[in-house]
A and B are shown apart, each in its own frame.
Chain A
Amino acid sequence: MNDRDMAIHAAGISKIYHRGSEKITALDGVSLQIEKGDFVAFIGPSGSGKTTLLNILGCLDNPTAGKLAIGGTSVFGEGPCLSEKDLTRIRRRHFGYIFQNFYLLPTLTVLENVTVPFSFYRKENALTDIPALLASLGIDQRMDHLPGQLSGGEMQRVAIARALVNRPEILLADEPTGNLDSKRSRDIGEVLRSLNRDQGITIIMVTHNTELAGLAARKIELKDGKI
C-alpha cells in the first residue's frame, strides 16, 4: 500500500518518562499502520500505554524515539522535534479529538461550544450547516442549552460535533464513553460507527468498554507498552 493511503504510519515508537531517578517505559518500540477510513480500538489494562500512544499518534505529545508520519508527511523521527506551534498546525489539519470528560465550556451554549474551533481556525472545507450537524447527532433541540442542562450522553455528542466542524480526517477518542452509562455508551458507539462508515472518517479510539471496542474494525491490544 502507498504511504499516501496511510492515515498514520508509526515505526518503533517509544516513550520513556523519568520520575526522579526512576525510568518508566510507557511505550516500547510500537510500530503500526492505520489506513484511511480505518476504525481502530486500542484496548488493554490500565497503564498499558494506550492513551500515551493515542496522544503521540494525535501529535499531542512527542515520542522519545521512533518515527511517525501523518498522511504521508513525516512528523517525528526525521529531523528535530517539532515545536508546539508546528504540532498545532498538524493537529488543525488532520485531527479531531474527543475526551472522556467532554471539556465543554460551561458558559457557552451548545451551538457556541460547537463553533469554538472556528474562533481559532477554519478549514476551507469546514462544515457550514452546524444545525444540520447537530440534527444528525440528535441534539438540535438542545442548541441553545448550556452544558449544565445536558445529560452526559448529550454532552459527549456536543463534543463530537465540536470535533467534526473542521472536517477532520482522523478522529481520536480517549475513553469516549468512560463517563456514560451502558445505554448512552451504545448510542455514542453507534455515532462513531456511522461517522466511520458513512463519512469515511478514520477513527482511533482508546476504550476499556469491550462492547464499544467490538464496533471497531481492528482491535489493537497493548500490554506493558507493547502491541
Chain B
Amino acid sequence: MIRIWQIAYKNLLRKKVRTILTITGIALSGWVLVSLLGFNKGYENALNKDIDSMGYQVLVAAKGCPYEAATLMLKGGTGLRYMDEGIARDILKYDEVKEITPMVMQAVFDPNKGENGGISAYLGVDPKTFPGMKGYFTFQQGKWFTDPNANDAVMGYEAAELEQREVGDKILIPEKNLELTVVGVLKRTGTQDDGTIFVPIRTVQRIFGVTGKLTAVGVQVDKNAKITDVEQKMYNLPDVQVVSLAQVKQTIIGLVSTARVMVFSIAVIAVLIAMVGVVNTILMSVFERFQEIGILKSMGALPRDVFRLIWIETFILCVLGSVAGNVLALGLVRITDILIRRLLPYSPTGSLVMIDLPLAGMAMVAIIGVGLLAGLYPAWKAARIRPIESMRNQEA
C-alpha cells in the first residue's frame, strides 16, 4: 500500500527541473545560514583561542591608543611605544602576580619576503619566563634558546615554511645586516605565533637600539586573585595602560559587529527569497493538479488529507534543501572563511567558520520551520478545492 508521503515524494518527481531548482534555492539559503551561524560560533572560538594562547591574562603596554594595544596583543605592530624595563620589576612586586614575561616587539619590512616584500615580526622574549607561559608549544625541530644575548631564533611554523628554514640555518634581519641562527622550529599552533620569529629579548634590544626598553609585559595572575583588582592596582603605574583579555575581546567583537549584522541580514534575505521560491513551486503544482486534487477528494480524501499531502511536499523540499545546504556549507567552509575574512577589520588566526552537528541541526530546523510556514498557503488553497469545481474545470 502506498503511503501519503510516498505520493508526495513522487509528485515532486513530475517536474524534476523545477523541484531541483527549488531545492537549490533552499540549499543556497541554507549554506548562507549555516555559514553565518558557524561564523558566529567560530569567530568567538578563534578569538578565544588566540587570546588563551598568549599564556597571560593581562598585558601592560606603554600608554597610547587602546586599539593599538589590542592590535599589539594579537598581531604585533609598527610605530610602537616603549616603556622602561623597571616597570616589569614593579609589576612583579604585586602579591597577586604569579609571573611576568617582558617582551619587545619589532617589525621590519623585508623586500625579499613574498612577491612584493612583507613585514617580518620579531618578538624579543625572555628565555627564562616566556617558554613557561607558552607551555603548550611543541617543537618540530630543535628547542628554545637559553642565552638572553645569543643571536639565536625560534621560528613559528608558518614563518619557517615561508622562509624555508630549518634548525642550523641562518636568517638575515633586513636593514640590520645581522644573521640569526635558527635553533628551533615550532609545530603549528593555529594562532598568530605561527608567523612570529622569537628572538632573545636582549638581542632584540641590542639590534634595534632599544636597550632597557619594553613594548609590553605579559602578566600571569595568581588563580586565586581577582584579575580586576590587579588591573586596578596596575593603573597606578606611570605611563602604562593595562589591557585585559576581556577588554580586548570586547573591543574586537565591537569592531566586527557591523560585519556580523550585514552577514546576518544577507542570510535572512536569502532564506526569505528561498521561501518565496517554495511558495511559488508548491502553488504552481497545486494549480496544475487542480483536477487531480478534486479526484483525490472524490476518492475519500478529506481537506486535512490534502493539506497534509501538500505540506509533506513542502517538508520534503525543505529537508532536501537544508541537507544540501549543510553539505554545501561543510564543503565550502574554506571559501566561506576567505570571503568573510575580506569583510572583517580583524580576523583571528584559527578557523572563522565552525560548523558542528547541533548547529547544522539548528539551521535545518529553522529552514524547515520557515518552509512549513511558507507551505501553509498552498496547502490551505489545495485543501479548499471542491471535487465538483475540478470536474467543471475538466468540462471547460
Contact = CB atoms under 8 A, between A and B. Distances in A.
B96 interface: no
B298 A60 contact: yes
B246 interface: no
Given A106-B14, A108-B2, A108-B7, A120 B300 contact: yes
Contacts, number: 79
Interface in A16-46: none
A119 B2 contact: yes
Given A107-B10, A116-B7, A119-B2, A60 B299 contact: no
Interface in A39-56: 51, 55
A200 B250 CA distance: 83
Contacts of B296: 116, 120
A211 interface: no
Contacts of A166: 300
A37 B8 CA distance: 37
Contacts of B301: 88, 120-121
A99 B391 CA distance: 9
Contacts of A51: 391, 395
Contact of B299 (A84, A85, A116): A116
A137 B27 CA distance: 46
B1 interface: yes
Contact of A84 (B3, B291, B295, B386): B386
B395 A115 contact: no
Interface string B1-33: 111101100110110000000000000000000
A76 interface: no
Contact of B391 (A60, A84, A105, A118): A60
Interface residues of A, number: 31
Contacts of B298: 58, 60, 91, 95, 97
A58 B387 CA distance: 11
Interface in B289-336: 291-292, 295-303, 305
A107 B11 contact: yes
Contacts of A112: 2, 6, 10
If over half of B's interface residues share one DSSP class (helix, strand or loop), that class is named, otherwise mixed; here it is: helix
Contacts of B6: 112
Nearest to A174: B391
B299 A162 contact: yes
Interface in B354-391: 386-388, 391
B394 interface: yes
A180 B6 CA distance: 30
A213 B282 CA distance: 42
A105 B8 CA distance: 11
A170 B166 CA distance: 92
Given A103-B292, A105-B10, A119 B388 contact: no
Interface residues of B, number: 28
Interface string B24-64: 00000000000000000000000000000000000000000
A88 B302 contact: yes
Given A108-B10, A112-B2, A119-B1, A97 B388 contact: no
A46 B291 CA distance: 21
A43 B300 CA distance: 27
Contacts of A60: 298, 387-388, 391
A91 B2 contact: no
A117 interface: yes
Nearest to A83: B303
A88 B302 CA distance: 6
Given A61-B388, A103-B291, A108-B7, A120 B305 contact: yes
A64 interface: no
Given A60-B387, A84-B303, A119 B394 contact: no
B295 A115 contact: no
Nearest to A130: B1
Interface in A88-126: 88, 91-92, 95, 97, 99, 101, 103, 105-108, 112, 115-121
Contacts of A162: 299
B318 to A, nearest CB: 20
Contact of B300 (A58, A103, A117): A117
B168 to A, nearest CB: 71
Interface of A: 51, 55, 58, 60-61, 84-85, 88, 91-92, 95, 97, 99, 101, 103, 105-108, 112, 115-121, 162-163, 166, 174
**Which 5 pairs of residues, A with B, have the shortest CB-CB distance?**
A107-B10, A92-B300, A121-B300, A120-B301, A103-B295
Given A55-B388, A120-B301, 4 more contacts: A84-B297, A92-B300, A107-B10, A116-B7
